[in-house]
Amino acid sequence: MRVVLDTNVIVSAVISNAGPPDAIVNAWRKGSFQLITSAPLLAEIADVLARPQIRKRSGFSAAEEATYVAALSETAILVEPSERLSVIEDPDDNLLIEAAVAARADFIVTGDKQVLELGAFRDTQIITPARFMAVLAAERRSE
């Protein structure tokens, strides 16, 4: 299963070790799905983690933020989207769609209402972290 996680999901997992975002990142680390990302998405994650209000909540130093993003880039599947899309008003949100299309991802997991309103794009379902937890639970039951 190939999955693009929105920056809001990854950052939520960093600042809180409770709830669906943290459980999703832990499931990925255990090999429950393949994480798809791109250089622009990694840059966005780095930018958000460096924001003072996020840094305060995460407790990460600048070096720890860099290490975290480097670990993501080394362990996720890095795609280079060849297609520029303008499906959503916010250009940063289009980065998710572009990565998903490039990787033929099964899911985009996000807490962003604008992105969620799409429901799906091409063959990629767009769902909340809570809904993705249900997908992972169903996968485990079917194994």
Q: What is the CATH number of the domain that holds 8?
A: 3.40.50.1010
The tokens 């998405």 sit on which residue? Answer: 41
- Tell me how crowded residue 15 is: count the other CB atoms within 10 A of its CB: 17
Rounded to an integer, the average pLDDT of 82-92 is: 87
| Domain limits for position 135 | 2-142
Write the DSSP symbol of residue 67: H
Q: What's the pLDDT tens digit per position in 37-84?
A: 999 999 999 999 999 999 999 999 999 999 999 999 999 999 999 888
| pTM score of the predicted model | 0.94
How many domains does the structure of the chain reveal? 1
